[in-house]
Chains A and B, each alone.
Chain A
Amino acid sequence: MEQQRERILKIRNLNISFKTGNGKVNAVRGVNLDLYKGETIAIVGESGSGKSVTTKAVMGLLANNGNIDSGMIEYHWNDEYTGEPKTVDICQLSEKELQSEIRGRKIAMVFQDPMTSLNPTMTIGKQIMEPMIYHYKKSKKEAYEKALELLELVGITDAEKRMKNYPHQLSGGMRQRIVIAIALSCDPYVLICDEPTTALDVTIQAKILELIQDIQKKKQLSVIYITHDLGVVAKVADYVNVMYAGKIVETGTIDEIFYDPRHPYTWGLLSSMPDLDTDDDVLYTIPGSPPNLSHEVQGDAFAPRNEFALNIDFKEEPPMFEVPGSKSHKVASWLMHPNAPKVEMPESLKKRLQKMKEKGDAKE
Chain B
Amino acid sequence: MSKSTVRYILRRLVISLITLFVILVVLFCMVRFLPGSPINNEHLSDAQRAAIEASYGLNLPLPQQFVKYMSGMLTGDFGVSMNLYRDMQVSSLVATRAPISFFLGLSACILGTLVGILLGVVAALKKNTIWDTLATVLSVIGVSIPSFVFAMLILMIFGTNLHILPTMYSSSQPIYSAIMPIIALSMSVIANVARFTRTEMISVLNSDYIMLAKAKGLSRKDIILKHALRNTLIPIVTILGPILVNLMTGTMVVEKICSVPGLGLLLINSIQASDYNVILACSFLYAAMYIIMMLVIDVSYGIIDPRIRLGKDE
- Real binding pair: yes
Contacts of A168 in B (CB 8 A): 306-307
If A102-B217, A134-B222 touch, does A61 touch B211 (CB 8 Å cutoff)? yes
Q: How far is the CB of B138 from chain A (nearest CB, A)?
A: 24
CA distance A134 to B222 in the complex (A): 10
Are B217 and A105 in contact, CB atoms less than 8 angstroms apart?
Answer: yes
Are A99 and B211 in contact, CB atoms less than 8 angstroms apart?
Answer: no
Are B234 and A121 in contact, CB atoms less than 8 angstroms apart?
Answer: yes
CA distance A111 to B213 in the complex (A): 11
Binary A-proximity of B290-314 (CB < 8 A = 1, otherwise 0):
0000000000000011110000000
Are A103 and B306 in contact, CB atoms less than 8 angstroms apart?
Answer: no
Are A111 and B208 in contact, CB atoms less than 8 angstroms apart?
Answer: yes
Are B215 and A119 in contact, CB atoms less than 8 angstroms apart?
Answer: no
Are B217 and A131 in contact, CB atoms less than 8 angstroms apart?
Answer: yes
Are A103 and B227 in contact, CB atoms less than 8 angstroms apart?
Answer: no
Interface residues of B in 193-221 (CB under 8 A from A): 207-209, 211-220
Contact of B209 among A103, A118, A135, A183 (CB under 8 A): A118
Q: How far is the CB of A121 from chain B (nearest CB, A)?
A: 5
If A121-B230, A121-B305, A166-B306 touch, does A130 touch B218 (CB 8 Å cutoff)? yes
Are A116 and B208 in contact, CB atoms less than 8 angstroms apart?
Answer: yes
Are A120 and B231 in contact, CB atoms less than 8 angstroms apart?
Answer: yes
Interface residues of A in 150-190 (CB under 8 A from B): 166, 168, 179, 182-183, 186
If A121-B231, A121-B234, A168-B307 touch, does A100 touch B217 (CB 8 Å cutoff)? yes
Q: Is A237 an interface residue (CB 8 A)?
A: no
Are A166 and B307 in contact, CB atoms less than 8 angstroms apart?
Answer: yes
If A122-B227, A166-B307, A168-B307 touch, does A117 touch B208 (CB 8 Å cutoff)? yes
Are B209 and A119 in contact, CB atoms less than 8 angstroms apart?
Answer: yes
CA distance A88 to B144 in the complex (A): 54
Interface residues of B in 215-271 (CB under 8 A from A): 215-220, 222, 226-227, 230-231, 234
What is the interface size of chain A, counting residues whose CB is below 8 A from a CB of the partner? 31
Are A121 and B304 in contact, CB atoms less than 8 angstroms apart?
Answer: yes
Contact of B216 among A120, A130, A166 (CB under 8 A): A130
Are B305 and A119 in contact, CB atoms less than 8 angstroms apart?
Answer: no
Q: Is A59 an interface residue (CB 8 A)?
A: yes
Q: How far is the CB of B129 from chain A (nearest CB, A)?
A: 12
Contacts of B208 in A (CB 8 A): 111-113, 116-117
If A166-B307, A168-B307 touch, does A118 touch B218 (CB 8 Å cutoff)? no
Q: Is A104 an interface residue (CB 8 A)?
A: yes
Q: How far is the CB of B298 from chain A (nearest CB, A)?
A: 17
Are A61 and B213 in contact, CB atoms less than 8 angstroms apart?
Answer: no
Binary B-proximity of A87-124 (CB < 8 A = 1, otherwise 0):
00000000000011011110011011100111111110
CA distance A116 to B210 in the complex (A): 10
CA distance A90 to B215 in the complex (A): 14
Interface residues of B in 144-180 (CB under 8 A from A): none
Interface size class of B (residues with CB under 8 A): 20 to 34
Are A61 and B215 in contact, CB atoms less than 8 angstroms apart?
Answer: yes
Q: How far is the CB of A127 from chain B (nearest CB, A)?
A: 8
CA distance A47 to B217 in the complex (A): 27
Are B217 and A116 in contact, CB atoms less than 8 angstroms apart?
Answer: no
CA distance A251 to B209 in the complex (A): 32
CA distance A59 to B218 in the complex (A): 13
Q: How far is the CB of A167 from chain B (nearest CB, A)?
A: 9
Q: How far is the CB of B221 from chain A (nearest CB, A)?
A: 11
CA distance A116 to B209 in the complex (A): 6
CA distance A142 to B18 in the complex (A): 53
Contacts of A134 in B (CB 8 A): 216-219, 222
Are B218 and A111 in contact, CB atoms less than 8 angstroms apart?
Answer: no
Binary B-proximity of A40-58 (CB < 8 A = 1, otherwise 0):
0000000000000000000
Contacts of A130 in B (CB 8 A): 216, 218, 226
Contact of A131 among B216, B231, B307 (CB under 8 A): B216
CA distance A183 to B216 in the complex (A): 7
Are B230 and A61 in contact, CB atoms less than 8 angstroms apart?
Answer: no
CA distance A59 to B219 in the complex (A): 14
Most buried by A among B208, B212, B218, B219: B212
CA distance A166 to B218 in the complex (A): 20
Most buried by B among A102, A123, A179: A179
Interface residues of A in 223-281 (CB under 8 A from B): none
Most buried by A among B209, B213, B215, B231: B215
CA distance A120 to B219 in the complex (A): 19
CA distance A119 to B205 in the complex (A): 12
Binary B-proximity of A275-315 (CB < 8 A = 1, otherwise 0):
00000000000000000000000000000000000000000
Contacts of A61 in B (CB 8 A): 211, 214-215
Are B212 and A179 in contact, CB atoms less than 8 angstroms apart?
Answer: yes
CA distance A104 to B214 in the complex (A): 8
Please give 12 more A-B residue pairs, beta carbons under 8 A apart, in addition to A131-B217, A186-B217. A99-B220, A103-B217, A104-B215, A104-B217, A116-B209, A118-B212, A120-B306, A122-B227, A134-B216, A166-B306, A179-B212, A182-B216
Listed A/B pairs (17) with beta-carbon separation below 8 Å: A103-B215, A103-B216, A104-B218, A109-B215, A116-B209, A117-B208, A120-B307, A121-B230, A121-B231, A121-B234, A122-B230, A130-B216, A130-B218, A131-B216, A135-B217, A179-B212, A183-B215
Give me the interface of A with B, judged by CB distance under 8 Å. 59, 61, 99-100, 102-105, 108-109, 111-113, 116-123, 130-131, 134-135, 166, 168, 179, 182-183, 186
What are the 7 tightest A-B residue pairs by CB atom distance, in nearest-first order? A104-B217, A103-B217, A116-B208, A117-B208, A104-B216, A166-B306, A131-B216
